[in-house]
Amino acid sequence: MGEKNCWEKVVVITELIMGRELMLQLQKHFDPMKQDVCQYLAVEILSSYDKALSLLNGTALSGMMSKGKQCFNPAPSSSTDKLQSPQLLADCSTKSCDRPSNSRKRKKIARRTEYVQARTGEEVPPEDGYSWRKYGQKDILGAKYPREYYRCARRGLSNCAATKIVQKSETEPSVFEVTYGGSHGCGQENKNQNEEQPLVLTQEQLRVVLTEETQYHEVGRAGEISESHFPKMVSTPNSTSFNNSSTGVVFSNSNSLFNITNSDFISTPTSSPRSDRNFSNDDFIYGPGNDSNLLLNDTSLTRLTALLDDVPENCSHTYRGVHQHP
């Protein structure tokens, strides 16, 4: 295969992967209340597929490689993406598939791009669970908004190579294009890595319950539960039982009641506790002790999320006692 064809193949693969990635994000964000994000992602997805198709049809590459975001991105992959595209593309770009006439290339770092929407009233992308330190900002040619450069805040301590580039979308200012590079070699845990993953609680964690006074800081998106959803809770007596016939956790607002029982969870006896959630001791739902972990099942997650999303921002709620009745 000639160099040009190989390069085009890389671009096709990149565009297809990008399209898949964007579709995953669209699926994740799908919510009638977030039409702007969905619309934006739909445009990007169509663009990726159009480009790939034009290449497969033999259309020249001209014009495709001129614009930054559409240029070769060696790793358009989400954190949850199952495709090993970064490696595939990196290998191809550093071996026989090098672009013509270039031996000294800047080291390609696996990157993935995500599109995130700012919370209402804010002009910054929501926190992603990691600590970042800004190290630069640059006006990009032809771009309406500057690009901001961040690196892991623990870089100095542990040579962590993780970086993040944030740029506001030109077409949808509430949407940010966030490009992650490198990986966290610092051991830093993602504090709110909850998308696409059910909440995981150890049974030991389920021992806690109910808070005396709680303040919601924000309301997360439907379909996911952000860490801030969870109020501080006080511990129930260790004798609290979570067998199938008893109710152990009650989560309520003024209109609704959510009782968490064993049937709301999927037991995962052999998995280790989630290390990517960084709950503090006073963070909440802890349960009766044995070593197995619990995943909140989809139905229960939806119920709880709906309940939580029904809570206005910054309102306080008081939770008292533990419902032991069925």
Question: Which of 111, 95, 106 shows the shortest CA–CA distance to 6?
Answer: 95
CA torsion through residues 192, 193, 196, 197, sign: negative
> Given the complex with DNA, which of 103 and 244 has the nearer CB atom?
103
Least distance (Å) between residue 74 CB and DNA? 10
Residues of span 41-100 touching DNA by CB under 7 A: 68, 99
Tell whether residue 231 is a contact of DNA (CB under 7 A).
no
> Given the complex with DNA, which of 187 and 321 has the nearer CB atom?
187
Buried b (16+ CB within 10 A) or exposed e, 110-140: bbbbbbbbebeeeeebbebbbebeeeeeeee
Contact 278, 181 (CB under 8 A): no
Using the rule CB under 7 A, which residue among 58, 62, 95, 102 binds DNA?
A: 102
Least distance (Å) between residue 139 CB and DNA? 7
Least distance (Å) between residue 6 CB and DNA? 15
> Given the complex with DNA, which of 141 and 280 has the nearer CB atom?
141
H or E segment and range at residue 117: strand 111-117
Residues 135-174: x/- map of binding to DNA (CB under 7 A)?
xxxx-xxxx---x-x-x-x---------x-x---------
Largest CA distance in the chain: 75
Q: How many residues bind DNA (CB under 7 A)?
A: 24
- Cβ-based neighbour number of residue 146 at 10 Å: 14
Tell whether residue 181 is a contact of DNA (CB under 7 A).
yes
> Given the complex with DNA, which of 99 and 232 has the nearer CB atom?
99
SS3 assignment, position 138: strand
> Given the complex with DNA, which of 133 and 217 has the nearer CB atom?
133
Q: Copy the structure tokens of residue 250.
A: 């009650």
Least distance (Å) between residue 122 CB and DNA? 15
What are the residue ranges of helices labelled H in the chain? 3-29, 35-56, 85-94, 155-158, 298-309
- From the list 81-89, 128-136, 186-194, 262-270, the region that binds DNA by CB under 7 A is 128-136
Q: Copy the structure tokens of residue 262.
A: 């064993």
The binding site for DNA (CB under 7 A) comprises: 68, 99, 102, 104-107, 133-138, 140-143, 147, 149, 151, 153, 163, 165, 181
